[in-house]
Structure 1
Amino acid sequence: MKKILMTLCAWLLLAGAVHADNQYKVLVLAMPGKYHYEYIPIARDSFEQLARLHAFELTYTSKPEVFDGDLGQYAAVVFLNTPGEELSEPRRRKFEDYMRAGGNAMLVHRALIIPANTWPWFEKLVGRTIGNHPMLQTGVVEVVDKKFPATYGLPQRWLWSDEWYVSSNPHHIRIEPVLNVDESTYDPTKIWPGQVSTGMGRDHPVAWYHRVEKGRVFVTALGHNGEMYRDPQYLHHLMGGLYWTATGKGIEP
């Protein structure tokens, strides 16, 4: 019996030490949508691996009720293919308060799209208003800012297939682009019947960062397909963005 108790105590001490090694805590909200649902179990597995590898604590959920709790415990809140409109009015206010208190946010792909005037504050959080997009195509992503962590590990020109979101800036938000897409490498007009897409020209950001309230915000428009969340380069991109968002560190001087 004594030996069992000693073994149990040793295990508890070890578990406590592992927990203590976590550097910060991250909340990931990943809700299924009409076009985005298959990514959830794949992304969860990848985020859990990133959490183990980089020693941070992860809360990964599809339940918006998590916003009823203490958001202040999280170094960053990630909206993973989940737009802000999924939050009720009281939860929206709680998230705004979290950002005003120095919280940080990371927005991935479908999270960028919210109907006009639904939640103007969230549109400003994104930094751009997303319109339509051409059909998913292979294109070339260009690194704009080599000094930002979300570009570490990426080649200067990166072959990638995605929905190349077209955006505008009605709120006049200043962003810091880190990745652009080269529109000459795909057809910006290739879209479904009855719709029109003209592209954005040379300046077409697909990932950027900026500051909102007292917090940091990283945004990436990339990440449409579930299989992308198994791609090492894409995961490097996500982890670099998350690292800066949660800590404010990593930007090369």
Structure 2
Amino acid sequence: MKFASIVFVAFSLSVSASVLHAKQFSALVFSDAYDQYHHRNVPAVREAFEFLSKKHFFDLTWVERDAEFGKQTFADFDVIVFVSANPCELSEEKRVEFQKYVASGGGIVGIHSASATAKEEKRWMWWEELVGRVFLSHPPRQTGLIEVVDREFPACLHLDQKWIWTDEWYTFATPFPENLNVLLEVDEKSYYPQEKHVMGESHPIAWYHEAFGGRVFYSALGHIEESYADHDFQQHIFGGMLWAVGERDPKW
């Protein structure tokens, strides 16, 4: 009986220890080290997400190559984050797995050039519809004035009504879905776009929606390396992640 008691206590302590180390949710983050325009950001992006994972107590799996991303089991994660990366290089088999992940309620977060583009070598129309809009072009990076459209959304709770920011101001083609919920718009009068970069009165740069069974948050911000050390931008990303995760069942 004494031996059994010792075994039970040891087992209880082991379970307690594992419970104490359980995280809120599990995130897969893909930042493309081979992206010709954004590869220099990768170390800063990684540092930011390692900081966020410690600060906000979530499990982080980091990849920075298409081949690494394609080896992941997507069902293992509550949210998948693309930072200037996308899943378009996946094989047909892994594309089906990725679609099943989304259909089962998986969360998706896209940052900056994670947005779909018609020039994508392996264009994937399903991904374009999932993200919500297709990237067209942008003027040179410059400072502009952001209008926060929805301050009640987790990615915007910490922001003032207006936010001065420097970035590449992406322009987008007509959206696929009708239920995109715009979070941020940039005031085109506050910077100097060329005619081909003008979207008019409404120029969305961040939004969210539910599509194909999953939750999707996208923000076009994040071209500049130093952005990832900015507290407001970090919280913007994490708020989007938290919403994309949705209801979860922590293992504790």
Q: 1:128 to 1:30 in 2, by over 3 A?
A: same
Q: Write out aligned runs for 1:11-30 (5 A).
A: 16-20=18-22, 22-30=23-31
The answer on 1:85 being equivalent to 2:65 is: no
The aligned counterpart of 1:97 is 100
> Equivalent residue for 2:73?
70
Letter in 1 for 2:113: R
C-alpha distance in 2 between matches for 1:77 and 1:163: 24
Equivalent position amino acid for 2:218 in 1:
V
Encode CA deviations 1:169-195: one digit per residue, 9 max, x unaligned. 253442000100011000111xxxxxx
> Using the alignment, how far apart are the partners of 2:173 and 2:24 within structure 1?
36
Aligned equivalents of 1:103, 1:113: Cα separation in 2: 19
Amino acid in the other structure paired with 1:161: T
Tell me the TM-score normalised to structure 1 length: 0.85
| 1:169 corresponds to 2:168 | no
3-state DSSP class of the match of 1:158?
Answer: strand
In structure 2, C-alpha distance between the alignment counterparts of 1:203 and 1:39, rounded to whole Å: 29
Q: CA deviation at 1:15?
A: 6.0
Report the alpha carbon displacement of residue 31 of structure 1 after superposing the two structures with TM. Answer: 1.1
SS of residue paired to 1:29: strand
- Number of the residue aligned with 1:31: 32
**Residue of structure 2 in register with 1:138 after alignment:** 143
Give me the whole-angstrom Cα distance separating, in 1, the residues matched to 2:247 and 2:213: 12
1:127 aligns with 2:129: no
Superposed, 1:129-208 pairs within 5 Å as 129-169=134-174, 171-189=176-194, 197-208=196-207
Q: Following TM superposition, by how much is the alpha carbon of 1:248 offset from its aligned partner in structure 2, in angstroms?
A: 5.3
Deviation at 1:202, TM superposition (A): 1.2
Report percent identity of matched pairs. 38
User: How many pairs are equivalent?
Assistant: 235
- Name the counterpart of 1:235: 234
* SS of residue in 2 equivalent to 1:135: coil
Amino acid at match of 1:44: R
Counterpart residue type for residue 25 of structure 2: Y
Give me the whole-angstrom Cα distance separating, in 2, the residues matched to 1:224 and 1:86: 22
How much does 1:40 deviate? 1.1
Instruction: Say which SS state the counterpart of residue 155 (structure 2) adopts.
Output: helix
> Displacement of 1:116 after TM fit?
5.3
Tell me which residue corresponds to 2:212.
Answer: 213
| Unpaired runs of at least 5, structure 1 | 1-8, 190-195
Q: CA RMSD in A?
A: 2.4
Match 2:116 to one of 113, 116, 135 = 113
Amino acid at match of 1:35: Y
Using the alignment, how far apart are the partners of 1:108 and 1:184 within structure 2? Answer: 24
Looking at structure 2, the residues matched to 137 and 234 of structure 1 have their Cα atoms a distance apart, in angstroms, of 17
Paired letter, 1:51: S
Q: Deviations over 1:56-115 (max 9, x none)?
A: 101011133344342112111111110332333332222111111221100110110333
- Contact in 1 for aligned 2:130/2:212 (Cα 8 Å): no
Tell me the amino acid that sits aligned with residue 43 of structure 2.
P
Report the secondary structure of 1:236's partner residue: helix
Q: CA separation in 2, counterparts of 1:221 and 1:213?
A: 21
Choose which of 45, 51, 57 in structure 1 pairs with 2:47. Answer: 45
CA 51–150 in structure 1, closer or farther in 2 if over 3 Å, else same: same
- Give the Cα separation in 2 of the matches to 1:216 and 1:152: 19
Structure 2, unpaired ranges of 5+: 1-10
Is the CA contact 2:29–2:60 (under 8 Å) kept in the aligned structure 1?
A: yes
SS at 1:197 equivalent: helix
Q: 2:47 and 2:197 mapped to 1: Cα distance?
A: 37
